[in-house]
């Protein structure tokens, strides 16, 4: 008995939905069909294809810039003009040459037996530097140390590949209090 009112309600709902599903928008569909019966789609004609005109290759009589002989001549010219300033490739590297000069900090100086040393910090370590030591990645050699700076002479290549000297200095870092 309890199920019969639920069944009746479900049947009534299904019948109501079935009645609504018929021609709900029938008048709109009929009007749209009437308005579009004379409308035809129009496709533009394809554009004219232009004939292909080949362009002649005229560089076959010129010198090939990628010929191995030409590359060897250029390399020999750069070797012949090798500078006397070129760094020694057989010299053993010092620890401070693995750091860029911008990342090395001068912390102070120490004088011992009239010889001046500089204390520098590179990475987490402290190093003692004297005149003649190398530091930085541009083959920089220490030329002078005073209380406020370390002066260096670096070797760098210019745009032509020649080695040239450049002077630079590493200034004392003031302690923050």
- Residues 103-139: tens digit of each pLDDT: 999 999 999 898 999 999 999 999 999 999 999 999 9
CA atoms lying within 13 Å on the CB side of residue 60 = 3
Domain boundaries, the chain: 96-171
CA–CA distance, 76 with 86 (Å, rounded to integer): 16
- Edge-to-edge strand list for the sheet holding 140-145: 134-135, 140-145, 149-157, 163-171
In angstroms, the Cα distances linking 38 to 25, 30, 32, 34 are 22, 14, 11, 8
In angstroms, the Cα distances linking 123 to 76, 87, 98, 132, 139 are 41, 25, 10, 21, 19
**What topology is assigned to 96-171 in CATH?**
SH3 type barrels. (2.30.30)
Q: What are 125's strand-pairing partners? A: 122
pLDDT tens for 21-66 read 556 788 888 888 888 888 887 888 999 999 999 988 888 777 777 7
pLDDT tens for 64-74 read 777 776 665 55
- pLDDT band at residue 98 under the 50/70/90 scheme: very high
Instruction: Kindly tell me if the per-residue pLDDT of 75 is higher than 90.
Output: no
């Amino acid at each position: 008995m309890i199920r019969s009112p639920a069944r009746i309600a479900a049947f009534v709902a299904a019948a109501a939905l079935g009645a609504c599903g018929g021609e709900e928008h029938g008048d709109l569909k009929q009007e749209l069909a009437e308005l579009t019966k004379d409308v035809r789609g129009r496709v533009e004609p394809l554009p004219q294809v232009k004939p292909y005109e080949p362009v002649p290759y005229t560089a076959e009589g010129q010198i090939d810039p990628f010929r191995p002989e030409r590359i060897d001549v250029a390399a020999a010219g750069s070797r012949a003009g090798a500078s006397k300033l070129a760094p020694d490739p057989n010299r053993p590297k010092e620890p401070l040459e693995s750091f860029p000069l911008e990342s090395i900090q001068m912390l102070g100086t120490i004088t011992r037996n009239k010889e001046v040393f500089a204390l520098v910090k590179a990475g987490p370590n402290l190093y003692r530097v004297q005149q003649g030591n190398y530091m930085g990645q541009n083959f920089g050699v220490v030329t002078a140390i005073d209380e406020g700076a370390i002066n260096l002479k670096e070797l760098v290549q210019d745009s032509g590949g020649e080695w040239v000297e450049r002077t630079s200095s590493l200034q004392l870092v003031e302690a923050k209090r």
